[in-house]
Structure 1
């Protein structure tokens, strides 16, 4: 029975070695998959913040630059173009005669401007009315767009007009507005930014803004603490990092900018 010494199959030792090697192989492949997935989610979080940053910056630059626009600046002064309002057009917006920018609060601002023509749209995409004077270039009009730009309670940038109130972009943790004021002696020269309403007669020449963005993806920062992630926000605004609630390891990004209001300069 010489053939019995050459039976096929694996010994127990060989089987254990194969199981160990295959386990290491499976663990390695799994780890590579998890690392790639984590890298992908991290990059998606960065892309989301960058897209929100571009949208917020472009939107604020576009809307704030409209403040105080008059169709006929030579034939219609600020008081004639922008009469006083009691806040009936947009809730929370109440302007003094000639005022085109109203500081409502730390995270809210109201502006108003005249439409360029009949195709002009407000922040929600609503057209100007079909008024006869809007068909003529440089003709005076008493129609005014009023907008309130503010941070919503759900962490979104919102805009309210006479036609409604809608969220434009989410992912905001905080938003801070400041108005740039000039002196009576030098109404074209920026003196300082203030976080409040300017004094009576103090010219407003610009608006500064700061925003803290946060991605929707969670557990993306590994061991980096929330305090380290939003330390720049404290330097910019004085707000403590502990004021940022709902942190679950998201990615943060700080943006800031300023818009000079040429329409308001004398």
Structure 2
């Protein structure tokens, strides 16, 4: 007597349903992975932009906070020139305007046309310029003039011997530029002014902020720069695309909208020039 056993299996419909559910689950897993990857790239881009922004703000603050410093009692100050005259010049021109230097008539702060980036220039007593160059001085301090500007998308600086710019020494300066940070889209600057001498206001507080093209007239009227306001727009170096790209308004400039569909981050800071403030207070004593 033969015994027959029946073997059960999946029907075609059951197989199709199983395949469909598997595809749905696989698609969901893939979508989650893509989303996680995009989120990770976004977080990396934001972190990179934040790190670059903190770095450049800290670097500029360290460079600029001593603007206007000139101490004739400093034993390391080189005295090859009349330091009384030099000190008066630097104290009155911590932020040089175009035309202040007899041997560098085009040197000074410059206001970029439209949304074009600005050029910042500061003067101080130091051992080296913003690049680390000593301009031939050996373990001595001298009048340093530092210039900060944007070239393409690189924020750069170059330094000068202020005595060369004033025509007191021959032109032997190396004016090559040093890159501080790449991927900078815009660099904007404003200058905080005290009231003029006639006001008899010895608080040395900034009463208004102006652009570079107004600085010459304000200095002639007796105002001094006691603060610098800086704004930068940075872009990330990743391939993460943002669409649409938002508009950014830096200081009092017109809003700009970058053409690249990337992640951008705006940074601003105000730096008080304590040496210039102390000099402004002493003028009314």
TM tier, smaller: 0.7 to 0.9
Matched, 1:145 2:161: no
1:166/1:189 CA distance change after superposition, 3 Å: same
Report the count of equivalent residues. 232
Partner of 1:111: 122
Segments of 5+ residues of structure 2 without an aligned counterpart are 75-81, 91-96, 113-117, 161-173, 280-285
**TM alignment of 1:60-99, pairs within 5 A:** 60-72=60-72, 76-77=83-84, 79-81=85-87, 95-96=100-101
**Kept after mapping to 2: 8 A contact 1:158/1:169:** yes
Shift of 1:30: 0.6
Q: Which whole-Å CA distance do the structure 2 matches of 1:35 and 1:202 have between them?
A: 56
**TM alignment of 1:1-266, pairs within 5 A:** 3=4, 5-6=6-7, 10-72=10-72, 76-77=83-84, 79-81=85-87, 95-96=100-101, 102-106=108-112, 107-115=118-126, 120-127=127-134, 129-131=136-138, 134=140, 143-153=142-152, 155-162=153-160, 163=174, 164-182=176-194, 183-185=196-198, 186=201, 188-196=204-212, 197-199=215-217, 200=220, 201-221=222-242, 225-226=244-245, 229-231=246-248, 233=249, 236-240=251-255, 243-248=256-261, 250-265=262-277, 266=279
Shift of 1:129: 4.4
SS at match of 2:208: strand
Shift of 1:10: 4.0
Partner of 2:93: none
Q: Which whole-Å CA distance do the structure 2 matches of 1:38 and 1:215 have between them?
A: 15
Q: Which whole-Å CA distance do the structure 2 matches of 1:179 and 1:80 have between them?
A: 23
TM-score by length of 2: 0.69
**Kept after mapping to 1: 8 A contact 2:231/2:266:** yes
Shift of 1:214: 2.4
Q: Which whole-Å CA distance do the structure 2 matches of 1:167 and 1:3 have between them?
A: 87
Q: Which whole-Å CA distance do the structure 2 matches of 1:82 and 1:150 have between them?
A: 26
**Kept after mapping to 2: 8 A contact 1:69/1:114:** yes
Shift of 1:191: 2.2
SS at match of 1:144: strand
Shift of 1:246: 2.2
Partner of 1:137: none
Shift of 1:83: 6.3
Shift of 1:180: 1.5
**Kept after mapping to 2: 8 A contact 1:67/1:261:** yes
Partner of 1:87: none
TM-score by length of 1: 0.73
Q: Which whole-Å CA distance do the structure 2 matches of 1:166 and 1:42 have between them?
A: 30
Q: CA RMSD in A?
A: 3.1
